[in-house]
Amino acid sequence: MSEEELINGCVREDRASQYALYKTYAGKMLAVCRRYARTDLEAEDILQEGFIKVFDNVSKFKGNGSFEGWIRRIMVNTALKLYRKASFKNEVIGIDDGYDMPQEATVLEKISQGELMKMVQGLPEGYGIVFNLYAIEGFSHAEIADTLGVNEGTSRSQLAKARKWLQKKVIESQNIEYERK
């Protein structure tokens, strides 16, 4: 089935088309959901909730941009809705001195993608959301601020703290690896 046929079938609420669309995109979207979830179970919940929204709103997809990108945006918004209800807004935050200082990238060359993704998943909640939105989804600080209901300085500060946290974890992992040799 082509993408257009899948979309049209989902608009008609054809179960076979819905299943095929789910099978086509679930793996990629689960990876997106895992970046925002604290556990695999939570990521699966976000995925399921996101697909319900996809099926409920598929008739609104007008073909502007990619269909996969449209689905991805729904998954990200579904994850963010969960965190708006949670503790992110209660986190004590402030602008860190040097939040706009360049970060050293050379330490990232020493670890695998899988190790880095585990570290990103381990970021404290507020840091992780801002890091994912900025570094992975490509949101600007203005978009992040608008989406999360914070100011741009908070977004920048959270990103800087996330980078520092990740850098510290990368260095720690390299020290452990070096000590084993």
Domain ranges for the chain, please list them. Answer: 3-86, 92-180
Domains 3-86 and 92-180 share a fold: no
DSSP state of 138: -
Task: For CA atoms 28, 31, 32, 33, give the dihedral sign.
Answer: positive
3-state secondary structure of 122: coil
Look at residue 37 in the predicted model and tell me its pLDDT.
85
Candidates 173, 148, 9; CA nearest to 81 is 148
- Do residues 144 and 134 lie in contact, with contact meaning Cβ atoms separated by under 8 Å? yes
CATH class held by domain 3-86: mainly alpha
Question: What is the residue-level pLDDT of the chain in tens, covering all 181 positions?
Answer: 889 999 999 999 999 999 999 999 999 999 999 988 888 888 999 999 999 999 999 999 988 889 999 999 999 999 988 877 664 444 444 444 444 444 444 445 566 777 777 888 888 877 888 888 888 888 889 888 888 888 888 888 888 888 888 888 888 877 765 455 4
- Rounded to whole angstroms, the Cα distance separating 42 from 36 reads 9
Q: What is the H or E stretch that residue 160 is in?
A: helix 152-180
Look at residue 88 in the predicted model and tell me its pLDDT.
45
Specify the CATH architecture of the domain 92-180.
Orthogonal Bundle (1.10)
